[in-house]
Amino acid sequence: MAMSSWHSYDRGETLFLHGEVARSVHIVIEGWVKLFRVSSNGGEAVVSVFTKGESFGEAVAFRNNKYPVSAEAVTACELIQIPTSALMEMMRKDPEVGVSVLASTFTHLHSLVSQLEQLKARTGAQRVAEFLLEICEKESGRCVVTLPYDKVLIAGRLGMKPESLSRAFSKLKPVGVRIVRSEAVIDDIDRLRDFSESDPALSWNKAT
């Protein structure tokens, strides 16, 4: 911790840019951070979103590679920045630290694989349902969740356009989900989970 630094960022403030050399690992203490890339046509693709207790940048930092993405504060947030050299020293003294870093890197990889699966095997409404279940603090019953960031970012995080997100929210009404300003009211978590895990092909077969 003595070698680390604490940073506060306002909403919309840049943490680092695509192409900069990575020399540290970031841990979110409060707020939300997004990782994104800007395509050749100027469009923004959201790669990941991180919040309290989550870390990012491990894989590129340990190799002193350039960041393949840019990072921006989605909300006002606070982060700890740990230099790679400090982590390397800790790993030499305590192998458990190295195991933790590997586990964190694997978690990021698993998250990206899950995103690819969602894009290929889930409808837009199912992706939104899974997102709501992820941020829901209960396992069953009724729940009201506050959407952690604006709907444009939610759409980008789920690989959708904002207008597609609105249609997806509408398709969740029959399974008991209502959007009231910045909150999602879920009447039955188990019902929503069943919908998110259902096979889209079944509804296509019924339609034919």
- Residue spans per domain, the chain: 5-120, 122-207
Rounded to an integer, what distance in angstroms lies between the CA atom of residue 51 and that of residue 90? 24
Of 114 and 162, the structure prediction assigns the larger pLDDT to 162
Instruction: State the amino acid at position 113 in one-letter form.
Output: V
Mean pLDDT calculated for residue range 160-182: 90
Between strands 70-73 and 77-83, the pairing is unpaired
pTM: 0.69
As a whole number of Å, the end-to-end CA separation of the chain is 61
Structure tokens at 102: 């590997």
Instruction: Please state whether 194 falls in left (phi above 0), alpha (psi between -120 and 50) or beta.
Output: alpha
- How far apart are alpha carbons 72 and 150 in whole angstroms? 14
Between the ranges 50-59, 65-74, 90-99, 156-165, where is the mean pLDDT highest? Answer: 65-74
Helix, strand, coil percentages in the chain from 3-state DSSP, rounded to 5: 45, 25, 30
79: pLDDT strictly greater than 70: yes
Look at domain 5-120 and name its CATH class: mainly beta
> What CATH architecture does domain 122-207 belong to?
Orthogonal Bundle (1.10)
Q: Residue range 185-189: average pLDDT?
A: 94
- CA distance to 25, 86, 105, per residue, from 97 (Å): 13, 11, 12
* Average pLDDT of the residues in 73-89: 90
Instruction: Note the pLDDT of residue 135.
Output: 86
d(CA 63, CA 140): 43
Rounded to 5°, angle at Cα 58 from 31 and 75: 15
Share of the chain above pLDDT 90, in %: 38
- Dihedral over Cα of 9, 23, 37, 123: its sign: negative
- Which residues lie closer than 8 Å to 30 by C-beta, 6 or more apart? 52, 76, 77, 78
Token digits for 28?
């979110």
Q: At residue 202, does pLDDT exceed 60?
A: no
- The whole-angstrom separation of Cα 173 and Cα 70 is 35
